Amino acid sequence: MNRRVGYRAFARRLAVALSCVAVAAGSAQSAECMRGINLAGAEFGSLGQEYGTGYIYPSDKTIAYFKGKGFTGVRLPFLWERLQPKLYDKFNSAELKRLRAAVKAIRSAGMQVVLDPHNYGRYEDQLIGSDGVPQSAFADFWRRLAATFASQDGILFGLMNEPYGISAEDWLSAANSAISAIRQTGADNLILVPGTAWTGAHSWSGGDYGTPNASVMTGVTDPANNYAFEVHQYLDVDFSGKNDECSRAADAVKAITDMGNWLAAQGRRGFLGEFAVPTMPVCQQSLKDMVAVVESRPDVWLGWSYWAAGDWWKPSEPLNIQPTDTGDRPQMQTLQTYFADRKTCGG
C-alpha cells in the first residue's frame, strides 16, 4: 500500500469518527452523522385551533422511543404564523414556551434539533417577497428566532420548509436576508438552506421552475460560513411522497448520488431533510439504498432525517414510522438493520 494513500484513508476515518463524537456531545457547529427523524405535529391543524386539539408537539414518550432506536436528531416542524401571529411583532409567549419546551426535551434526550418553520416559503398563504410578506419580514422572524436560540449546543436553523412558486433568484435573496439577520444576533448555529421547487434533489440541476438551484444557490452568503444545503427526495412516481409506492426508487437514489457529486464539486455540504418509503417489502431495500448513499459520503453529507413520525399520525399513513400498538413499523425495522450493520457514518 502506498503510505501516503494509507495515511489519507486513516485520516478520513479518524475525521469521521471525531465528527460523530462531536454530534454525540451536542455540538452547535456540526450535524455530521445526524440520523434524524421528523417529529410532526406542531405544523398540523388550522390557524386558530387550540393546542392539543388542532396541533401538538412531540411527547416525551415519542422522543424517548426514537432516542432508544438510535436516532441522533429531530427535525421539528412548526408554523411561523403560530409563533409570530403578526409580522414584525414579538412572538406569542405561549407558543414560544411550547417550542422551547420541545427543544429542551429533545436536547435533554441527547439529540440535536433542526428548527423547521414548515411554511413552504409563505406566511398565511402569501409568498415571501410579495407585498404582503416582504423579505424583511422573513428576516425579522429569523432575527427573533435566532436570538432565542443563539449559539446553543445542538440546535440547527432550517431556514424554511420546501419553498415553491418562487424563482431561485428571489429565494436566494430572501435566504441571504434571513442569514444576515441571524448572524447579526451573534448566533453561530449551523443553517440549513433549501432551494426552490420544494428543494428536490432530482430537480436541483434542472427542471421547469426557471434557473436551476444549482446555478443560483451557490450565491448563498453567510458571514460565519456555517451552512449546508437542505434537499428532500421521495421515491414515488412524481417524487412527491404522496403516493403509496416507490416506483422511482432508482431515479431517487441516483438524484442523491448526483447531488453529492455536485456538493463535492462546489466544495459545499448537504443535508437530506426528508425522504421516506411506504411499508411494502419492495421499498425497504430502496430505503437502505438511499441511506447508504448519504452515509457513504461524509465528505459532503452531514446526515439525514426520515419523514416522518409524531404522536398524531394515523397508523394508515403509509410513510409514518410512529410505533403502533403491535410494535415497530417495517421502515423502522429496515433502518434498525442499517444501524446495526453500520455503526459509524462512512463505515
- Cite the active site residues: 162, 274
Contact indicator for 43, 78 with CB cutoff of 8 Å: yes
Closest CA to 209 of 254, 166, 248: 166
Dig out the grid coordinates for 341 from the structure: 450493520
First to last CA, the chain: 20
Distance CA 35, CA 293 (A): 13
Angle between helix 60-69 and helix 330-341 axes, rounded to 10 deg: 40
Dig out the grid coordinates for 215 from the structure: 446555478
Distance CA 106, CA 41 (A): 15
- Which long-range contacts does 259-267 make (Cβ < 8 Å, 24+ apart)? 259/201, 259/204, 259/231, 260/293, 260/294, 260/297, 260/300, 260/301, 262/204, 262/205, 262/214, 263/229, 263/300, 263/301, 264/297, 264/299, 264/300, 266/218
Distance CA 152, CA 64 (A): 21
Dig out the grid coordinates for 344 from the structure: 459509524
Whole-Å CA distances, 19 to 67, 149, 164, 266: 19, 22, 33, 21
Contact indicator for 8, 47 with CB cutoff of 8 Å: no
Contact indicator for 125, 80 with CB cutoff of 8 Å: no
